[in-house]
Amino acid sequence: MSGIRLFVGLGNPGEKYAATRHNAGFWWIDQVAAATNSKLAVDAKFFGFAGKLSPTADSWLIKPTTFMNASGKAVAALANYYKISPAEILVIHDELDLPAGSIKMKFGGGHGGHNGLRDIHSALGTADYWRLRVGIGHPGSKNEVVNFVLKAPTKDEQHVIDDSIYDSCKLVDLMLKGEFDSAMLKLHTKK
């Protein structure tokens, strides 16, 4: 099985959204970029901040600048350009159905109402790609979801989310090698 060649962090561009729960995918990409000295720059043809994952020559990081609902545009543009198959893509996104500080990895499945995933499904024509689900917790009421994801986490939530992102970023080497069972075992048996 081939490893991940494209890491996609979901979020909304701009200062207004930088600290909001919906940007957990951006935070993950930022952490990996910092840890690997990878440089991201605006790339108009890929509709986002994109860059090679150092020191690997064949893997990419991207933070789409299309806003969440049009994330698929960036994913499809980069994947098509570099001939990256959906099974070689990992999408990192906020997950309401997991408690803050919990991270789970899975292959395929539905979009669970997540607009970024919905658009990626549509752009790729398949749901058969990897996801890294960063738990942000749930507000308790469906009516509160939009307001909740577009607000910053509490200080305690931010702390556990940051810790889980830091820990999961250490598994990038396993993901690059396609050792998903090992990565998931480490991720899902944490603490």
Q: Is 153:161 a contact under the CB 8 Å cutoff?
A: yes
What is the three-class DSSP state of 131?
strand
Residue 67 marked ligand-binding: yes
CA 75/CA 25 separation, integer angstroms: 14
Question: HEC states along 83-124?
Answer: CCCHHHEEEEEEECCCCCCCEEEEECCCCCCCHHHHHHHHHH
Which residue's entry shows tokens 């993901």? 175
Residue 17 marked ligand-binding: yes
Token pair, residue 19, equals 């600290």
CA 35/CA 160 separation, integer angstroms: 19
CA 19/CA 54 separation, integer angstroms: 26
Catalytic residue among 22, 93, 114, 121: 22
Rg (CA), the chain: 15
Determine whether 22 is an active site residue: yes
Q: Which positions are annotated as active-site residues?
A: 22
Q: Would you list which residues are annotated within the binding site for tRNA?
A: 17, 67, 69, 115
